[in-house]
A and B are shown apart, each in its own frame.
Chain A
Amino acid sequence: KNEVEQSPQNLTAQEGEFITINCSYSVGISALHWLQQHPGGGIVSLFMLSSGKKKHGRLIATINIQEKHSSLHITASHPRDSAVYICAVRSMIKAAGNKLTFGGGTRVLVKP
């Protein structure tokens, strides 16, 4: 079993729909990251969470430490949101050197 599991693997939505991507992890973490990888390949960090909720524009990320679960929501989705969204966790162990463990990604396609 992978340490970081994402669901769904693929998601297709119509423009304007609300999208939710889930991430579950099995290890103790100090932080969880959500990343976005566009079709061109570049990877951008969207959020870093250690508790609660963060919002940036139409993106909302939440984390439940007790349940070892995080969600990324996209409100009023747009075709430019089409990308692969990646969840990654940072170990609680300081000696791990800020290393991240990545989920397999969720490929999102938003149709106009």
Chain B
Amino acid sequence: NAGVTQTPKFRVLKTGQSMTLLCAQDMNHEYMYWYRQDPGMGLRLIHYSVGEGTTAKGEVPDGYNVSRLKKQNFLLGLESAAPSQTSVYFCASSSQRGPQGRDTQYFGPGTRLTVL
């Protein structure tokens, strides 16, 4: 099993360009998440999904859109990139076990995005 994979690993964009980050998991997990990690700050949740066809906003959703058309994939889109979106983006997935869904989150390797 590959676990959680992210594509691409690195990307440089110009302000105003658009792009899509792809996250894929082969563990049949219900939950998927997109985070950004910035120097001096903890991981912050951008958007998340509790199942195929559903998405919800996290802590810092502005400037991003997501889609979960297939259970194994979670896409993060930047419609018009801004320098403030320069960051490292991590995808994660987890399964829900028990009434409070306490299972571990598995992280992808990250995508380093620079917006000039």
- Which residues does A use to contact B, with CB under 8 Å? 2, 4, 30-31, 33, 35, 41-45, 48, 50, 86, 88, 90, 92, 94, 97-100, 102-105
Contact = CB atoms under 8 A, between A and B. Distances in A.
A47 to B, nearest CB: 9
Nearest to A42: B109
Interface residues of B, number: 29
Interface of B: 31, 33, 40-45, 48, 50, 56, 58, 88, 90, 92, 94, 96, 99-107, 109-110, 112
A55 to B, nearest CB: 17
A13 B54 CA distance: 46
B48 A45 contact: no
B98 to A, nearest CB: 10
A98 B31 contact: yes
Given A90-B102, A97-B48, A103 B42 contact: yes
B109 A41 contact: yes
Contacts of B88: 41
Nearest to B92: A43
A4 B60 CA distance: 17
Nearest to A30: B100
A94 to B, nearest CB: 6
A98 B96 contact: yes
Given A41-B110, A42-B110, A100 B102 contact: no
A102 B107 CA distance: 14
Contact of B31 (A48, A92, A97, A102): A97
B106 A45 contact: yes
Contacts of B48: 97-99
Given A2-B42, A90-B102, A99-B33, 9 more contacts: A30-B100, A31-B100, A31-B102, A41-B88, A41-B109, A45-B104, A97-B31, A99-B48, A105-B42
